[in-house]
Amino acid sequence: METENVTKAAIFACIFLSCICIPVMAYSSDAIGWFEQGNAFMKNKNYSEAIRVYDRAITFEPKYFEAWNGKADALNRAGQFTEALEASDRVLLLKPDYIQGWINHGYILYNLRRYDEELKAYETAITIDPTSPDAWFNKGYSLAGMKRYDEAIAAFNKVQALDPTFPNLAANKRIAEQNRDATTPFYIKYATALGITALIVFGAIVWYVAVRKKY
């Protein structure tokens, strides 16, 4: 009897462990197929078709956040910014820690000219993953657009540390440096040289006055 109870307990334990260890069901093959078609249309810049087939994927799997993000991206590239933001909001509701979702959210906010919110979107992505060069690059680009050049350069330097081969990094950093230098007042840019020159002139005047007093 005792052996039978032990056997039953062992069986129930195995069933329980097998249940909790079963991975969450993946998206249906139909939804994945439509999603992949959407990605193909995006590569060909056929945004209207991409939107259509992403919607088909979402019909099969309403919580398919990658499909929602693809739809948001396609709407944004098609110039339908308000609809893109709505789709992007759905992405972040379904998956708040989705880094690419936050970056895409920033792209859309940029097109809506909501620059402060755009920057916050990239900063949220960085909070989720501080090692994301994509998030840091977009933060730098956003800061440069707001003429916060020193902060932009610092963000680009972070990208450099994370991924020295990141596309367009060197060019954007150089532009930020040029714009910073162009907007820096003359007396600040050459403060050190002006200070040294002033000291030399002052010293020369003091010496000249001292020499004249002797005579």
* 187: CB partners within 8 A, 6+ apart: 194
Alpha-helical regions (H) of the chain: 2-21, 29-43, 47-60, 65-77, 81-94, 99-111, 115-128, 133-145, 149-162, 169-183, 186-189, 191-214
pLDDT value for 200 = 73
pLDDT value for 104 = 98
29-214: what CATH class?
mainly alpha
pLDDT value for 212 = 60
Dist. CA 108–CA 73, nearest whole Å: 8
pLDDT value for 196 = 74
Give this prediction's pTM.
0.75
Dist. CA 69–CA 38, nearest whole Å: 11
Each residue's pLDDT, cut to its tens digit, for the chain (215 residues) gives 444 444 444 444 443 334 333 333 589 999 999 999 999 999 999 999 999 999 999 999 999 999 999 999 999 999 999 999 999 999 999 999 999 999 999 999 999 999 999 999 999 999 999 999 999 999 999 999 999 999 999 999 999 999 999 999 999 999 999 999 998 554 455 556 556 765 776 565 656 556 566 65
CA nearest neighbour of 122 among 95, 96, 146, 140: 140
Dist. CA 65–CA 94, nearest whole Å: 6
